[in-house]
Structure 1
Amino acid sequence: MSDRPGSRPLRTLPKAHLHLHFTGAMRHDTLVELADRDGVRLPPALREDWPPVLSAADEKGWFRFQRLYDLARSVLRTEDDVRRLVREAAEDDVADGCGWTEIQVDPSGYAAEFGGLTTFIELVLAAVREASAATGLGMAVVVAANRTRHPLDARTLARLA
Protein backbone atom coordinates (compact mmCIF):
# COMPACT_ATOMS: atom_id res chain seq x y z
CA MET A 1 0.00 0.00 0.00
CA SER A 2 1.31 3.43 -0.87
CA ASP A 3 0.99 6.62 1.14
CA ARG A 4 1.24 8.74 -2.00
CA PRO A 5 -1.48 11.34 -2.41
CA GLY A 6 -4.34 10.02 -4.50
CA SER A 7 -3.41 6.38 -4.05
CA ARG A 8 -6.13 3.91 -3.08
CA PRO A 9 -6.07 0.45 -1.57
CA LEU A 10 -6.02 -2.30 -4.19
CA ARG A 11 -9.34 -3.71 -2.98
CA THR A 12 -11.10 -0.45 -3.89
CA LEU A 13 -9.76 -0.26 -7.46
CA PRO A 14 -12.03 -1.50 -10.27
CA LYS A 15 -11.17 -4.96 -11.53
CA ALA A 16 -12.22 -7.63 -14.00
CA HIS A 17 -11.57 -11.31 -13.35
CA LEU A 18 -10.95 -12.90 -16.73
CA HIS A 19 -10.41 -16.58 -17.52
CA LEU A 20 -11.55 -17.74 -14.10
CA HIS A 21 -11.35 -21.52 -14.28
CA PHE A 22 -14.70 -23.03 -13.33
CA THR A 23 -13.51 -25.77 -10.97
CA GLY A 24 -10.60 -23.65 -9.79
CA ALA A 25 -13.06 -21.04 -8.55
CA MET A 26 -14.42 -23.44 -5.93
CA ARG A 27 -13.92 -22.38 -2.32
CA HIS A 28 -11.79 -24.78 -0.30
CA ASP A 29 -14.52 -25.20 2.33
CA THR A 30 -17.00 -26.08 -0.43
CA LEU A 31 -14.62 -28.63 -1.93
CA VAL A 32 -14.17 -30.37 1.43
CA GLU A 33 -17.89 -30.22 2.27
CA LEU A 34 -18.98 -31.71 -1.07
CA ALA A 35 -16.30 -34.41 -0.89
CA ASP A 36 -17.41 -35.38 2.61
CA ARG A 37 -21.06 -35.43 1.53
CA ASP A 38 -20.38 -37.96 -1.21
CA GLY A 39 -17.56 -39.92 0.40
CA VAL A 40 -14.89 -38.66 -2.00
CA ARG A 41 -11.49 -39.21 -0.43
CA LEU A 42 -9.37 -36.11 -0.87
CA PRO A 43 -5.59 -36.36 -0.60
CA PRO A 44 -3.85 -34.18 2.01
CA ALA A 45 -2.96 -31.66 -0.74
CA LEU A 46 -6.67 -30.87 -1.13
CA ARG A 47 -7.68 -31.22 2.49
CA GLU A 48 -5.08 -30.18 5.06
CA ASP A 49 -2.13 -28.90 3.02
CA TRP A 50 -4.12 -26.11 1.40
CA PRO A 51 -3.26 -24.62 -0.99
CA PRO A 52 -1.34 -27.47 -2.62
CA VAL A 53 2.34 -26.92 -3.29
CA LEU A 54 3.01 -27.68 -6.92
CA SER A 55 6.16 -27.41 -9.00
CA ALA A 56 6.08 -26.34 -12.61
CA ALA A 57 9.71 -27.39 -12.99
CA ASP A 58 8.92 -30.78 -14.46
CA GLU A 59 6.21 -32.77 -16.16
CA LYS A 60 5.22 -34.48 -12.91
CA GLY A 61 4.10 -31.12 -11.55
CA TRP A 62 1.59 -30.75 -14.37
CA PHE A 63 0.25 -34.28 -13.99
CA ARG A 64 -0.07 -33.86 -10.22
CA PHE A 65 -1.97 -30.61 -10.75
CA GLN A 66 -4.28 -32.25 -13.30
CA ARG A 67 -4.97 -35.18 -10.97
CA LEU A 68 -5.90 -32.80 -8.13
CA TYR A 69 -8.04 -30.68 -10.47
CA ASP A 70 -9.88 -33.77 -11.74
CA LEU A 71 -10.54 -34.84 -8.15
CA ALA A 72 -11.95 -31.40 -7.35
CA ARG A 73 -14.14 -31.55 -10.45
CA SER A 74 -15.50 -34.93 -9.34
CA VAL A 75 -17.25 -33.44 -6.29
CA LEU A 76 -19.60 -31.42 -8.52
CA ARG A 77 -22.47 -33.86 -8.86
CA THR A 78 -25.72 -31.90 -8.79
CA GLU A 79 -27.16 -28.81 -10.43
CA ASP A 80 -27.17 -27.18 -7.00
CA ASP A 81 -23.43 -27.84 -6.70
CA VAL A 82 -22.85 -26.00 -9.98
CA ARG A 83 -25.08 -23.10 -8.96
CA ARG A 84 -23.33 -22.89 -5.60
CA LEU A 85 -19.87 -22.81 -7.18
CA VAL A 86 -20.85 -19.99 -9.54
CA ARG A 87 -22.67 -18.02 -6.80
CA GLU A 88 -19.74 -18.31 -4.40
CA ALA A 89 -17.26 -17.32 -7.12
CA ALA A 90 -19.37 -14.22 -7.81
CA GLU A 91 -19.59 -13.39 -4.11
CA ASP A 92 -15.82 -13.76 -3.74
CA ASP A 93 -15.12 -11.55 -6.73
CA VAL A 94 -17.53 -8.87 -5.51
CA ALA A 95 -15.78 -8.94 -2.12
CA ASP A 96 -12.48 -8.37 -3.95
CA GLY A 97 -13.86 -5.36 -5.83
CA CYS A 98 -14.52 -6.98 -9.21
CA GLY A 99 -17.11 -5.47 -11.47
CA TRP A 100 -16.84 -8.14 -14.17
CA THR A 101 -16.07 -11.86 -14.15
CA GLU A 102 -15.67 -14.28 -17.03
CA ILE A 103 -15.89 -17.92 -16.01
CA GLN A 104 -14.03 -20.23 -18.38
CA VAL A 105 -15.31 -23.79 -18.60
CA ASP A 106 -14.67 -26.79 -20.80
CA PRO A 107 -18.02 -28.60 -20.62
CA SER A 108 -16.45 -31.84 -21.90
CA GLY A 109 -15.28 -32.70 -18.40
CA TYR A 110 -18.79 -32.39 -16.97
CA ALA A 111 -21.01 -33.56 -19.82
CA ALA A 112 -21.26 -37.20 -18.76
CA GLU A 113 -22.34 -36.29 -15.23
CA PHE A 114 -24.85 -33.63 -16.31
CA GLY A 115 -26.61 -35.06 -19.35
CA GLY A 116 -24.47 -33.82 -22.22
CA LEU A 117 -22.60 -30.78 -23.47
CA THR A 118 -25.65 -28.65 -24.23
CA THR A 119 -27.35 -29.43 -20.93
CA PHE A 120 -24.24 -28.56 -18.95
CA ILE A 121 -23.62 -25.32 -20.86
CA GLU A 122 -27.24 -24.29 -20.29
CA LEU A 123 -26.86 -25.06 -16.57
CA VAL A 124 -23.73 -22.92 -16.28
CA LEU A 125 -25.37 -20.07 -18.22
CA ALA A 126 -28.40 -20.19 -15.91
CA ALA A 127 -26.16 -20.28 -12.84
CA VAL A 128 -24.25 -17.25 -14.11
CA ARG A 129 -27.48 -15.32 -14.75
CA GLU A 130 -28.68 -16.14 -11.22
CA ALA A 131 -25.37 -15.24 -9.57
CA SER A 132 -25.11 -12.01 -11.53
CA ALA A 133 -28.63 -10.98 -10.53
CA ALA A 134 -28.02 -11.88 -6.88
CA THR A 135 -24.67 -10.09 -6.55
CA GLY A 136 -24.86 -7.28 -9.10
CA LEU A 137 -21.65 -8.56 -10.70
CA GLY A 138 -21.42 -8.47 -14.48
CA MET A 139 -20.65 -12.01 -15.63
CA ALA A 140 -20.10 -14.02 -18.79
CA VAL A 141 -19.14 -17.57 -19.71
CA VAL A 142 -16.23 -18.49 -21.97
CA VAL A 143 -16.69 -21.98 -23.39
CA ALA A 144 -13.22 -23.46 -23.68
CA ALA A 145 -11.81 -26.46 -25.47
CA ASN A 146 -9.08 -28.75 -24.20
CA ARG A 147 -5.99 -28.28 -26.37
CA THR A 148 -5.03 -31.93 -25.95
CA ARG A 149 -8.22 -33.19 -27.59
CA HIS A 150 -9.06 -33.54 -31.26
CA PRO A 151 -9.70 -30.25 -33.10
CA LEU A 152 -13.21 -31.41 -34.01
CA ASP A 153 -14.06 -31.35 -30.29
CA ALA A 154 -13.14 -27.66 -30.25
CA ARG A 155 -15.27 -27.07 -33.33
CA THR A 156 -18.27 -28.71 -31.64
CA LEU A 157 -17.83 -26.56 -28.54
CA ALA A 158 -17.45 -23.41 -30.66
CA ARG A 159 -20.74 -24.16 -32.39
CA LEU A 160 -22.48 -24.70 -29.05
CA ALA A 161 -21.05 -21.50 -27.63
Structure 2
Amino acid sequence: MTTSSADISPNYQEYLRRLPKVELHCHVEGTLRPATVVELATKHGVALPTTDVDEVYRYSTIYEFLEIYQRVNSTVIDREDFARIAYETLEDGVKLGNLKYREMFFNPTLHTARGIPMATVIDGLIDGSKAAEHDFGVRCAFIADVYRQDPPEVARQMVEEVLAHRRPELIGLGMDAAEAPDPPEKFVEAYRVAKAAGLRLTSHCAEDGPASNVTTCLDLLGCQRLDHGYHILEDPAVVARCRDEGISFTVCPTSTAVVYGWPDLTTHPITKMIDAGLQVMLNSDDPTMFHTDIGTEYVRFCGQNNYSPALVRRLVLQGVEASWLADVEKATMRRAFEAEIDKLDRELLG
Protein backbone atom coordinates (compact mmCIF):
# COMPACT_ATOMS: atom_id res chain seq x y z
CA MET A 1 0.00 0.00 0.00
CA THR A 2 1.30 3.45 -0.90
CA THR A 3 2.02 5.74 2.02
CA SER A 4 0.75 9.30 1.75
CA SER A 5 2.38 12.29 3.43
CA ALA A 6 -0.57 12.39 5.81
CA ASP A 7 0.33 8.89 7.07
CA ILE A 8 3.82 9.95 8.19
CA SER A 9 4.18 10.68 11.88
CA PRO A 10 4.29 14.38 12.78
CA ASN A 11 7.75 13.90 14.28
CA TYR A 12 9.13 12.39 11.08
CA GLN A 13 7.53 15.08 8.94
CA GLU A 14 9.17 17.71 11.12
CA TYR A 15 12.44 15.79 10.95
CA LEU A 16 12.40 15.70 7.15
CA ARG A 17 11.58 19.39 6.90
CA ARG A 18 14.20 20.47 9.44
CA LEU A 19 17.08 18.49 7.99
CA PRO A 20 19.85 20.85 6.79
CA LYS A 21 19.79 20.94 3.02
CA VAL A 22 21.78 21.75 -0.08
CA GLU A 23 19.86 22.44 -3.29
CA LEU A 24 21.50 22.26 -6.72
CA HIS A 25 18.50 22.27 -9.07
CA CYS A 26 16.29 25.31 -8.65
CA HIS A 27 15.44 27.91 -11.32
CA VAL A 28 15.11 31.40 -9.91
CA GLU A 29 12.55 32.23 -12.60
CA GLY A 30 10.33 29.47 -11.23
CA THR A 31 10.47 30.63 -7.61
CA LEU A 32 8.51 33.91 -7.65
CA ARG A 33 5.91 34.23 -4.94
CA PRO A 34 2.45 34.79 -6.46
CA ALA A 35 2.03 38.00 -4.50
CA THR A 36 5.36 39.25 -5.83
CA VAL A 37 4.27 38.51 -9.40
CA VAL A 38 1.15 40.63 -8.90
CA GLU A 39 3.09 43.45 -7.24
CA LEU A 40 5.78 43.54 -9.95
CA ALA A 41 3.13 43.44 -12.68
CA THR A 42 1.43 46.44 -11.09
CA LYS A 43 4.77 48.22 -10.70
CA HIS A 44 5.65 47.84 -14.38
CA GLY A 45 2.18 47.91 -15.94
CA VAL A 46 2.34 44.29 -17.11
CA ALA A 47 -1.05 42.70 -17.80
CA LEU A 48 -1.68 39.35 -16.11
CA PRO A 49 -4.52 36.89 -16.82
CA THR A 50 -5.43 37.25 -13.13
CA THR A 51 -4.33 39.26 -10.12
CA ASP A 52 -5.74 36.68 -7.71
CA VAL A 53 -2.66 35.31 -5.97
CA ASP A 54 -4.37 31.93 -5.54
CA GLU A 55 -4.86 31.65 -9.31
CA VAL A 56 -1.53 32.93 -10.66
CA TYR A 57 -0.02 29.44 -10.86
CA ARG A 58 -3.11 27.49 -11.86
CA TYR A 59 -2.60 25.43 -15.04
CA SER A 60 -3.72 22.07 -16.40
CA THR A 61 -1.19 21.36 -19.16
CA ILE A 62 2.54 21.83 -19.69
CA TYR A 63 1.74 24.37 -22.40
CA GLU A 64 -0.26 26.48 -19.97
CA PHE A 65 2.60 26.14 -17.52
CA LEU A 66 5.11 27.45 -20.07
CA GLU A 67 2.83 30.35 -20.96
CA ILE A 68 2.56 31.31 -17.30
CA TYR A 69 6.33 30.93 -16.91
CA GLN A 70 6.97 33.47 -19.64
CA ARG A 71 4.30 35.86 -18.38
CA VAL A 72 5.65 35.75 -14.84
CA ASN A 73 9.16 36.51 -15.99
CA SER A 74 7.98 39.51 -17.99
CA THR A 75 7.28 41.22 -14.65
CA VAL A 76 10.96 41.12 -13.57
CA ILE A 77 12.67 44.13 -15.12
CA ASP A 78 15.02 46.21 -12.98
CA ARG A 79 17.94 45.36 -10.73
CA GLU A 80 15.80 45.68 -7.62
CA ASP A 81 13.32 43.14 -9.05
CA PHE A 82 16.04 40.56 -9.59
CA ALA A 83 17.40 41.21 -6.11
CA ARG A 84 13.93 40.80 -4.63
CA ILE A 85 13.17 37.46 -6.26
CA ALA A 86 16.58 36.02 -5.29
CA TYR A 87 16.17 37.18 -1.71
CA GLU A 88 12.62 35.90 -1.35
CA THR A 89 13.29 32.43 -2.72
CA LEU A 90 16.27 31.96 -0.42
CA GLU A 91 14.18 33.16 2.51
CA ASP A 92 11.51 30.62 1.57
CA GLY A 93 14.11 27.86 1.34
CA VAL A 94 15.41 28.63 4.82
CA LYS A 95 12.02 28.95 6.49
CA LEU A 96 10.31 26.04 4.74
CA GLY A 97 13.18 23.56 4.49
CA ASN A 98 16.25 24.66 6.46
CA LEU A 99 18.17 25.44 3.28
CA LYS A 100 21.85 26.12 3.95
CA TYR A 101 23.35 26.38 0.47
CA ARG A 102 22.00 26.61 -3.08
CA GLU A 103 23.51 26.70 -6.56
CA MET A 104 20.69 28.38 -8.46
CA PHE A 105 19.97 28.44 -12.20
CA PHE A 106 18.97 31.51 -14.17
CA ASN A 107 18.24 31.87 -17.90
CA PRO A 108 20.06 34.97 -19.20
CA THR A 109 18.45 35.04 -22.64
CA LEU A 110 14.93 34.95 -21.21
CA HIS A 111 15.78 38.41 -19.90
CA THR A 112 18.26 39.87 -22.39
CA ALA A 113 15.83 39.06 -25.22
CA ARG A 114 13.41 41.43 -23.45
CA GLY A 115 16.02 44.18 -23.50
CA ILE A 116 17.25 43.65 -19.94
CA PRO A 117 21.03 44.24 -19.70
CA MET A 118 23.05 41.23 -18.59
CA ALA A 119 24.62 43.26 -15.79
CA THR A 120 21.16 44.10 -14.42
CA VAL A 121 20.29 40.41 -14.20
CA ILE A 122 23.55 39.19 -12.66
CA ASP A 123 24.10 42.11 -10.30
CA GLY A 124 20.50 42.04 -9.11
CA LEU A 125 20.52 38.32 -8.37
CA ILE A 126 23.77 38.62 -6.45
CA ASP A 127 22.47 41.63 -4.52
CA GLY A 128 19.53 39.55 -3.36
CA SER A 129 21.62 36.51 -2.49
CA LYS A 130 24.04 38.57 -0.42
CA ALA A 131 21.18 40.19 1.48
CA ALA A 132 19.68 36.75 2.16
CA GLU A 133 23.03 35.46 3.38
CA HIS A 134 23.28 38.40 5.76
CA ASP A 135 19.73 37.98 7.07
CA PHE A 136 19.34 34.18 7.10
CA GLY A 137 22.82 32.68 6.86
CA VAL A 138 22.05 30.88 3.58
CA ARG A 139 24.71 30.93 0.87
CA CYS A 140 24.02 30.95 -2.86
CA ALA A 141 26.00 30.69 -6.09
CA PHE A 142 24.63 30.95 -9.63
CA ILE A 143 24.60 28.85 -12.80
CA ALA A 144 23.75 30.48 -16.14
CA ASP A 145 21.55 28.19 -18.23
CA VAL A 146 21.55 27.74 -21.97
CA TYR A 147 17.94 27.85 -23.16
CA ARG A 148 17.79 24.90 -25.53
CA GLN A 149 15.36 26.52 -27.93
CA ASP A 150 17.91 29.26 -28.63
CA PRO A 151 20.15 28.70 -31.69
CA PRO A 152 23.66 27.44 -30.86
CA GLU A 153 25.25 30.77 -31.80
CA VAL A 154 22.94 32.61 -29.40
CA ALA A 155 23.95 30.19 -26.64
CA ARG A 156 27.64 30.81 -27.34
CA GLN A 157 27.11 34.56 -27.36
CA MET A 158 25.25 34.30 -24.07
CA VAL A 159 28.19 32.51 -22.48
CA GLU A 160 30.60 35.15 -23.75
CA GLU A 161 28.39 37.94 -22.38
CA VAL A 162 28.05 36.17 -19.02
CA LEU A 163 31.82 35.87 -18.84
CA ALA A 164 32.19 39.57 -19.65
CA HIS A 165 30.04 40.32 -16.58
CA ARG A 166 31.31 37.45 -14.47
CA ARG A 167 31.46 37.77 -10.71
CA PRO A 168 32.81 35.21 -8.21
CA GLU A 169 29.29 34.07 -7.32
CA LEU A 170 28.68 32.96 -10.93
CA ILE A 171 30.27 29.52 -10.97
CA GLY A 172 28.75 27.39 -13.70
CA LEU A 173 26.95 26.77 -16.98
CA GLY A 174 23.88 24.57 -17.34
CA MET A 175 21.20 23.89 -19.93
CA ASP A 176 17.42 23.57 -19.70
CA ALA A 177 14.12 23.72 -21.66
CA ALA A 178 12.76 21.01 -23.98
CA GLU A 179 15.45 18.39 -24.53
CA ALA A 180 13.94 16.16 -27.22
CA PRO A 181 13.94 18.67 -30.13
CA ASP A 182 17.28 20.23 -29.20
CA PRO A 183 19.78 17.58 -28.05
CA PRO A 184 22.96 18.48 -26.16
CA GLU A 185 25.38 18.07 -29.05
CA LYS A 186 24.01 21.29 -30.58
CA PHE A 187 25.69 23.31 -27.84
CA VAL A 188 29.23 21.92 -27.76
CA GLU A 189 30.72 25.32 -28.65
CA ALA A 190 28.96 27.15 -25.82
CA TYR A 191 30.27 24.55 -23.37
CA ARG A 192 33.77 24.75 -24.84
CA VAL A 193 33.87 28.49 -24.20
CA ALA A 194 32.55 28.04 -20.64
CA LYS A 195 35.01 25.28 -19.81
CA ALA A 196 37.95 27.29 -21.13
CA ALA A 197 36.96 30.11 -18.78
CA GLY A 198 36.83 27.80 -15.78
CA LEU A 199 33.06 27.53 -15.30
CA ARG A 200 31.73 24.29 -13.86
CA LEU A 201 29.41 22.35 -16.17
CA THR A 202 26.07 20.58 -15.87
CA SER A 203 23.03 20.02 -18.07
CA HIS A 204 19.40 18.88 -17.93
CA CYS A 205 19.73 15.49 -19.51
CA ALA A 206 17.73 12.30 -20.18
CA GLU A 207 14.74 14.20 -18.84
CA ASP A 208 12.64 13.87 -21.98
CA GLY A 209 15.48 12.55 -24.11
CA PRO A 210 17.26 9.18 -24.39
CA ALA A 211 19.95 7.72 -22.15
CA SER A 212 22.49 8.39 -24.90
CA ASN A 213 22.22 12.08 -24.02
CA VAL A 214 23.94 11.25 -20.73
CA THR A 215 26.97 10.01 -22.63
CA THR A 216 26.90 13.08 -24.87
CA CYS A 217 26.80 15.43 -21.89
CA LEU A 218 29.69 13.67 -20.20
CA ASP A 219 31.92 13.10 -23.21
CA LEU A 220 31.18 16.01 -25.57
CA LEU A 221 30.07 18.77 -23.21
CA GLY A 222 32.32 17.81 -20.30
CA CYS A 223 29.57 17.91 -17.67
CA GLN A 224 30.63 17.22 -14.10
CA ARG A 225 27.14 16.44 -12.83
CA LEU A 226 23.72 16.02 -14.47
CA ASP A 227 20.20 17.33 -13.85
CA HIS A 228 17.19 14.96 -13.91
CA GLY A 229 18.53 11.92 -15.83
CA TYR A 230 15.50 9.62 -15.45
CA HIS A 231 15.77 7.93 -18.85
CA ILE A 232 19.24 6.68 -17.98
CA LEU A 233 17.37 3.66 -16.64
CA GLU A 234 16.71 2.57 -20.22
CA ASP A 235 20.41 1.73 -20.73
CA PRO A 236 22.03 -0.46 -18.05
CA ALA A 237 25.51 0.21 -19.46
CA VAL A 238 25.11 3.96 -18.98
CA VAL A 239 23.73 3.35 -15.48
CA ALA A 240 26.78 1.23 -14.64
CA ARG A 241 29.15 3.85 -16.00
CA CYS A 242 27.59 6.68 -13.99
CA ARG A 243 27.46 4.55 -10.86
CA ASP A 244 31.12 3.57 -11.22
CA GLU A 245 32.23 7.13 -11.96
CA GLY A 246 30.16 8.61 -9.14
CA ILE A 247 28.22 11.01 -11.37
CA SER A 248 25.72 13.01 -9.32
CA PHE A 249 22.15 13.58 -10.49
CA THR A 250 20.04 16.48 -9.25
CA VAL A 251 16.51 15.09 -9.27
CA CYS A 252 13.13 16.77 -8.75
CA PRO A 253 10.21 14.62 -7.56
CA THR A 254 7.20 16.95 -7.63
CA SER A 255 7.82 18.86 -10.85
CA THR A 256 8.49 15.71 -12.85
CA ALA A 257 5.54 13.93 -11.28
CA VAL A 258 3.36 16.72 -12.69
CA VAL A 259 5.01 17.19 -16.07
CA TYR A 260 5.74 13.57 -16.96
CA GLY A 261 2.79 11.82 -15.37
CA TRP A 262 4.52 10.02 -12.48
CA PRO A 263 2.09 10.98 -9.70
CA ASP A 264 2.91 7.98 -7.50
CA LEU A 265 6.26 8.91 -5.96
CA THR A 266 6.78 5.31 -4.83
CA THR A 267 7.18 4.27 -8.48
CA HIS A 268 8.92 7.42 -9.70
CA PRO A 269 12.13 6.72 -11.66
CA ILE A 270 14.07 8.42 -8.87
CA THR A 271 13.39 5.40 -6.64
CA LYS A 272 14.90 3.12 -9.26
CA MET A 273 17.91 5.40 -9.67
CA ILE A 274 18.53 5.12 -5.93
CA ASP A 275 18.07 1.35 -6.04
CA ALA A 276 20.58 1.19 -8.91
CA GLY A 277 23.22 2.85 -6.75
CA LEU A 278 23.28 6.19 -8.57
CA GLN A 279 24.23 9.30 -6.61
CA VAL A 280 21.08 11.42 -6.42
CA MET A 281 20.04 14.43 -4.36
CA LEU A 282 16.59 16.02 -4.03
CA ASN A 283 15.55 19.45 -5.30
CA SER A 284 12.48 21.63 -5.82
CA ASP A 285 13.05 22.74 -9.47
CA ASP A 286 10.41 25.52 -9.88
CA PRO A 287 8.94 25.43 -6.37
CA THR A 288 6.22 28.08 -6.35
CA MET A 289 5.04 27.14 -9.83
CA PHE A 290 4.68 23.51 -8.78
CA HIS A 291 3.24 24.40 -5.37
CA THR A 292 6.13 22.91 -3.42
CA ASP A 293 9.33 23.83 -1.57
CA ILE A 294 12.53 22.04 -0.63
CA GLY A 295 11.15 20.91 2.74
CA THR A 296 8.00 19.53 1.14
CA GLU A 297 10.08 17.59 -1.41
CA TYR A 298 11.72 15.67 1.42
CA VAL A 299 8.45 15.14 3.29
CA ARG A 300 6.63 13.87 0.20
CA PHE A 301 9.31 11.78 -1.43
CA CYS A 302 11.12 10.31 1.55
CA GLY A 303 7.95 9.96 3.59
CA GLN A 304 5.87 8.25 0.92
CA ASN A 305 8.73 5.86 0.18
CA ASN A 306 9.19 5.01 3.87
CA TYR A 307 12.86 5.90 3.60
CA SER A 308 14.83 5.31 6.77
CA PRO A 309 16.65 8.14 8.53
CA ALA A 310 19.92 6.54 7.42
CA LEU A 311 18.92 6.67 3.74
CA VAL A 312 17.59 10.22 4.08
CA ARG A 313 20.86 11.26 5.72
CA ARG A 314 22.70 9.79 2.75
CA LEU A 315 20.59 11.79 0.30
CA VAL A 316 21.26 14.99 2.26
CA LEU A 317 25.00 14.41 2.38
CA GLN A 318 25.10 13.48 -1.31
CA GLY A 319 23.87 17.01 -1.91
CA VAL A 320 26.91 18.35 -0.11
CA GLU A 321 29.24 16.12 -2.11
CA ALA A 322 27.61 17.03 -5.43
CA SER A 323 28.03 20.76 -4.82
CA TRP A 324 30.77 22.82 -6.41
CA LEU A 325 32.10 24.09 -3.13
CA ALA A 326 35.83 23.76 -2.56
CA ASP A 327 36.84 20.50 -0.87
CA VAL A 328 37.64 22.19 2.42
CA GLU A 329 34.23 23.91 2.42
CA LYS A 330 32.50 20.61 1.66
CA ALA A 331 34.27 18.95 4.56
CA THR A 332 33.27 21.77 6.92
CA MET A 333 29.66 21.67 5.72
CA ARG A 334 29.49 17.91 5.98
CA ARG A 335 30.65 18.01 9.61
CA ALA A 336 28.10 20.72 10.43
CA PHE A 337 25.32 18.76 8.71
CA GLU A 338 26.25 15.54 10.51
CA ALA A 339 26.15 17.31 13.87
CA GLU A 340 22.81 18.94 13.12
CA ILE A 341 21.29 15.67 11.90
CA ASP A 342 22.57 13.86 15.00
CA LYS A 343 20.79 16.45 17.13
CA LEU A 344 17.56 16.02 15.15
CA ASP A 345 17.86 12.26 15.57
CA ARG A 346 17.96 12.65 19.34
CA GLU A 347 15.27 15.32 19.48
CA LEU A 348 12.67 13.89 17.09
CA LEU A 349 13.41 10.20 16.59
CA GLY A 350 14.47 9.17 20.11
Structures share a fold, TM > 0.5?
yes
Letter in 1 for 2:86: V
Partner of 2:73: 73
CA contact (8 A) 1:17 1:100 kept: yes
Partner of 1:153: 154
1:2 paired to 2:3: no
Inter-CA distance 43–21: structure 2 relative to 1 (3 Å threshold) = same
- Higher mean alpha-carbon deviation, 45-54 vs 100-109, is at 45-54
Q: CA deviation at 1:86?
A: 0.6
1:43 paired to 2:49: yes
Q: Per-residue displacement from partner, 1:18-38 (whole Å, max 9, x unpaired)? A: 221122111111111111233
Letter in 1 for 2:32: M
Aligned positions of 1:78-157 closer than 5 A: 78-95=78-95, 96-111=97-112, 112-115=114-117, 117-157=118-158
Q: CA deviation at 1:50?
A: 4.4
Contiguous gaps of at least 5 residues in structure 2 = 1-7, 164-350
SS in 1 for 2:109: helix
Provide the rounded CA distance (Å) in 2 between the counterparts of 1:7 and 1:119.
Answer: 40
Provide the rounded CA distance (Å) in 2 between the counterparts of 1:83 and 1:76.
Answer: 10
Normalising by structure 2, we get a TM-score of 0.39
Inter-CA distance 103–46: structure 2 relative to 1 (3 Å threshold) = farther
Give the number of the structure with larger relative contact order, counting CA–CA contacts within 8 Å between residues 6 or more apart. Answer: 1
Provide the rounded CA distance (Å) in 1 between the counterparts of 2:30 and 2:101.
Answer: 17
1:53 paired to 2:59: yes
Q: Per-residue displacement from partner, 1:56-78 (whole Å, max 9, x unpaired)? A: xxxxx33x222211110111122
Provide the rounded CA distance (Å) in 2 between the counterparts of 1:41 and 1:28.
Answer: 14
Normalising by structure 1, we get a TM-score of 0.79
SS in 2 for 1:148: coil
CA contact (8 A) 1:46 1:68 kept: no
Provide the rounded CA distance (Å) in 2 between the counterparts of 1:3 and 1:26.
Answer: 29
1:23 paired to 2:29: yes
CA contact (8 A) 1:102 1:140 kept: yes
Q: CA deviation at 1:132?
A: 2.2
Name which one, 1 or 2, has greater alpha-carbon Rg.
2
Inter-CA distance 92–7: structure 2 relative to 1 (3 Å threshold) = closer
Q: CA deviation at 1:147?
A: 0.6
Provide the rounded CA distance (Å) in 2 between the counterparts of 1:52 and 1:131.
Answer: 28
Q: CA deviation at 1:8?
A: 5.5
Provide the alpha-carbon RMSD of the alignment.
2.6
Number of paired residues? Answer: 153
Percent identity (aligned): 26
Inter-CA distance 127–3: structure 2 relative to 1 (3 Å threshold) = closer
Q: CA deviation at 1:119?
A: 4.5
Provide the rounded CA distance (Å) in 1 between the counterparts of 2:55 and 2:127.
Answer: 34
Which runs of at least 4 in structure 1 moved beyond 6 Å after TM superposition? Answer: none
CA contact (8 A) 1:16 1:100 kept: yes
Provide the rounded CA distance (Å) in 2 between the counterparts of 1:17 and 1:119.
Answer: 24
CA contact (8 A) 1:77 1:113 kept: no
SS in 2 for 1:49: coil
Inter-CA distance 97–155: structure 2 relative to 1 (3 Å threshold) = same
